[in-house]
Amino acid sequence: MHGREVIRLQLWPLVMSNPQLFETVLLVAGTHLSLAGGDGPSQAGILNLRHNALQSINQAISSAQGGLLDPAVIGAIALLAGWELEFGASQAYDTHMAALKAIVTRQYNRTGRDNPPLGTRQAILPPIIDDLLVSMGHDLPAFSSKQIYFSRAEKPAMLQVCPDAAGLPPGFRTVIDQRIFIPDLLHRVAQLQYFDPTAPEAASNLRAVARSIKQYDHYAGFGISYSFLQTQQEDEMNAQAVFHVRLAGLALCGALRQKLPAATSPLHEIDFYMDSRGGPSVLSRQAAALVPGRIQGTVYDEILLWATVVIIAVTGIRTSQQTRVLNRLFASFQIRELVQLEQRLEDHIFPFDMLKWQVLEIFRVATAPSEESSPGSQESSPIEFNPAAAVTRYNRSVSHPTVIADLLESGVGEAKVCDDF
């Protein structure tokens, strides 16, 4: 079984039979529903759900003294820790995870085995509970550049804590601060801001950056293919944002390559999308496969605007759905002057000295009263505009990170999971 099918077939029976996991799932579901624009609980209601989950977990731990803790309770602790990182106090996440790691180690020891090597949790935990540990202890903290607590034996931690984001372009820093994007890819692309075509090692540096961006695999770095704290739609939104940034990074490598001396040896990591005549054929096909409409109207709008402009400017080809998305983004951001667009691009990475005229043409088309058809326009399937963006936690009206600030003042950050049983 793969993806969310396991939630229905493996997790749900445990939820319905274990009060601790049930209370924690109610907390996560209620919080998400409230923030996504649904008829969810009030902040006071969320606080009460959190209190119930924490109290139930601690009661289960206290009653398990001298015995083994129910795996469902272990899953509840992991889910509660994830809630703290996503919606509550990040310091509480570390507290819960440290307690959870100690509990899992002691649980394994009490089976008569030695200290558990990486991955042998499967010997004492159901697969779905181990998935919860990996999701909350590996995948989720990667968005916040926090410590990794759990990973797979067959798939060692690939999402490492990234360097400080202070040196990144402002647009990239904003996305990282919002904790809605894996920092690793943005750090790889951001290396292009230091590209100096006159440096002796310019070709090798550009080759290394292009290789790192090309080899980035959104799914390979995760322990599981979905998040317990997001809907399937939100998983797809995050993936689309990653695909746009990765392709924009490769496009920038292709543009910057033109600054290198003619005698420079071929850069195959960049040329992989170029045909024999030097045309951006593969890059264009990959761009046409993107679905920008799925993330338009969400917290990814700013980076979607940058990535779309970069891809069009470098390839010289724009699809009908790219044009429509740009029309909507320009209206949403109230971009009426060229300087406004240039400022947003400067907040990321953009070689204006090479692509200034292309930006002017993109601005002209995007601000035209109606969609234009020009020789550079390549028709594709109608845009998939995402009306469901209004009922997702990634809606632009929802702040990120989404901290329930009022609850923190009521003592949320003080309570913790007890691990001394």
The answer as to whether 168 is a domain residue is no
The answer as to whether 419 is a domain residue is no
Decide if pLDDT at 276 tops 80.
Answer: no
- For the record, the structure tokens of 342 come out as 């240039």
* Closest CA relative to residue 151, chosen from 138, 132, 136, 142: 138
**pLDDT for the residue 288:** 75
Question: Are residue 119 and residue 138 in the same domain, yes or no?
Answer: yes
Asked if 189 and 248 touch (Cβ cutoff 8 Å), the reply is yes
The answer as to whether 262 is a domain residue is yes
The answer as to whether 175 is a domain residue is no
What confidence tier does 247 reach under pLDDT thresholds 50, 70, 90?
Answer: very high
62 vs 321: CA distance, rounded Å: 57
The answer as to whether 170 is a domain residue is no
Question: Are residue 219 and residue 323 in the same domain, yes or no?
Answer: yes
What confidence tier does 73 reach under pLDDT thresholds 50, 70, 90?
Answer: very high
Question: Are residue 199 and residue 321 in the same domain, yes or no?
Answer: yes
% of the chain beyond a pLDDT of 90: 33
83 vs 31: CA distance, rounded Å: 9
Least-confidence region, from 39-53, 89-103, 107-121, 198-212: 107-121
Angle subtended at Cα 124 by Cα 97 and Cα 109, rounded to the nearest 5 degrees: 75
Mean pLDDT calculated for residue range 364-373: 71
Helix (H) / strand (E) element for 318: namely: strand 318-319
Decide if pLDDT at 207 tops 90.
Answer: no
Question: Are residue 108 and residue 139 in the same domain, yes or no?
Answer: yes
**pLDDT for the residue 67:** 63
Which residues have CB under 8 Å from 116's CB, separation 6+?
104, 105, 108, 109, 123
The answer as to whether 169 is a domain residue is no
Question: Are residue 191 and residue 70 in the same domain, yes or no?
Answer: no
The answer as to whether 173 is a domain residue is no
Residue 375 burial by CB count (10 A; 0-12/13-18/19+): exposed, middle or buried? exposed
Question: Are residue 380 and residue 409 in the same domain, yes or no?
Answer: no
User: What rounded mean pLDDT belongs to the chain?
Assistant: 80
**pLDDT for the residue 79:** 95
Question: Are residue 290 and residue 410 in the same domain, yes or no?
Answer: no
Which residues have CB under 8 Å from 316's CB, separation 6+?
280, 358, 376
Q: Tell me the DSSP string of 272-294.
A: TT--TTS--HHHHHHHHH--GGG
177 vs 43: CA distance, rounded Å: 23
Decide if pLDDT at 372 tops 70.
Answer: no
Angle subtended at Cα 285 by Cα 261 and Cα 370, rounded to the nearest 5 degrees: 100
Question: Are residue 241 and residue 146 in the same domain, yes or no?
Answer: no
Question: Are residue 217 and residue 130 in the same domain, yes or no?
Answer: no
Question: Are residue 250 and residue 204 in the same domain, yes or no?
Answer: yes
Mean pLDDT calculated for residue range 25-44: 85
Question: Are residue 136 and residue 224 in the same domain, yes or no?
Answer: no
Decide if pLDDT at 218 tops 90.
Answer: no
Sign of CA dihedral 255, 256, 258, 263: negative
**pLDDT for the residue 56:** 94
Q: How far is CA 238 from CA 87, 120, 225, 394, in A?
A: 18, 30, 12, 9
* Interval 97-124: pLDDT, tens: 999 988 888 877 665 554 455 446 666 7
**pLDDT for the residue 374:** 47
Question: Are residue 143 and residue 211 in the same domain, yes or no?
Answer: no
Least-confidence region, from 7-16, 158-167, 229-238: 158-167
Quick one: residue 12, left, alpha or beta (phi over 0 = left, psi -120 to 50 = alpha)? Answer: alpha
The answer as to whether 167 is a domain residue is no
Decide if pLDDT at 254 tops 60.
Answer: yes
- For the record, the structure tokens of 77 come out as 């602790």
* Interval 176-189: pLDDT, tens: 888 888 888 999 99
Query: By residue range, what is the domain housing residue 239?
Result: 180-391
Best-predicted range by mean pLDDT (119-123, 163-167, 202-206): 202-206
% of the chain beyond a pLDDT of 70: 77
141 vs 148: CA distance, rounded Å: 7
Domain count, the chain: 2
